[in-house]
Amino acid sequence: MPAAIPFEEVPAPPWQSPRKGLRKAPAARQPLSAEAVLSAALRLVDRDGLDALSMRRVAQELGTGAASLYAYFSNKDELLEQLLDRVIGDIPLPSAAAADWAAEVKRSCYASRAVFLAHRDLVKVARANIPVGPNSLRYVEALLAVLRGAGIPDRIAAWGMDQMSLVIVADAIEASIHASLGRQSEADAAPYLAQVSEYYANLPAEQFPNLNAMAPAMIEGSGDERFEFAIGLMVDGLARYIKAAV
């Protein structure tokens, strides 16, 4: 696993307040650190879900008062931002030296999905936000190096990376919603999907000929297979621009 980059070694985004970042805490009733707070927050999210996270709950997890956490994080949003970045640090970096750029991008997408799926619905933090923590920056830099090294034009590389990220986030969020509804596995989801397929199959054929005929196909494939299909479509689309640029 690559070592996480300390926040103090990466310039802070200009919209963040001067209090952002990791720093020493004043004397407290018990030893604390930003890493301890992040670890407690991650345990809480993994166990109880994102909605359960609050500064008060994290403080309870650490056996301290909520006020002591503000020496490290200005508010809950900052804590979530850094928590997401910590998890992104678990994703192996793609290598521009890989012999097959397309396979490397796919491997990176699968690894990203696996990391997010391991932490329930934490990935929701990434919705409508561009992660700019040090681990996020390092990952984006590495993936762009793969895409640009393959000869993909800059704008297409930027857009392609963004759209693949949306697919990963959406897939992980959908999985967390299924889990919250009791569908923890493919086997758990099978009765629901069979019910949907049966409904399609019994729709009036004159009004819904395609849904009626394709009822079995509409629910075919596991979540893994469908994710692989989606990423494959996107990578194949990116490859088209390499030919166009030559």
Same fold across 7-88 and 105-245: no
pLDDT band at 9 (very low <50, low <70, confident <90, very high): low
Coil/strand/helix, residue 205: coil
CB 107 within 8 A of CB 114: no
Report pTM.
0.83
The pLDDT of residue 13 is: 72
SS percent in the chain: helix, strand, coil, step 5: 65, 0, 35
Report whether pLDDT(183) > 70: yes
Report whether pLDDT(28) > 50: no
Average pLDDT rounded to a whole number, residues 165-181: 92
Alpha helix locations (H) across the chain? Answer: 34-48, 55-62, 76-88, 101-117, 134-149, 154-180, 186-201, 209-213, 215-218, 223-245
The lowest-confidence range among 10-14, 118-122, 190-194 is 10-14
Coil/strand/helix, residue 233: helix
Residue written as tokens 């800059």? 154
Domain ranges of the chain: 7-88, 105-245
Q: Give percent of the chain with pLDDT exceeding 70.
A: 88
Pick the CATH number of 105-245 from 1.10.357.10, 3.90.226.10, 3.40.50.10490, 1.25.40.10: 1.10.357.10
The pLDDT of residue 245 is: 57
Report whether pLDDT(27) > 50: no
The lowest-confidence range among 11-20, 149-158, 163-172 is 11-20
Separation in Å, CA 80 to CA 3, 51, 54, 55, 107: 20, 12, 10, 10, 26
Closest by CA to 7, choosing from 104, 79, 101, is 79
The pLDDT of residue 44 is: 96
Per CATH, the number for 7-88 is: 1.10.10.60
Report whether pLDDT(78) > 70: yes
- The tens digit of pLDDT for each residue in 123-144 reads 999 887 888 899 999 999 999 9
Report whether pLDDT(26) > 60: no
CB 4 within 8 A of CB 135: yes
Report whether pLDDT(171) > 70: yes
The pLDDT of residue 129 is: 80
Higher pLDDT, 124 or 244: 124
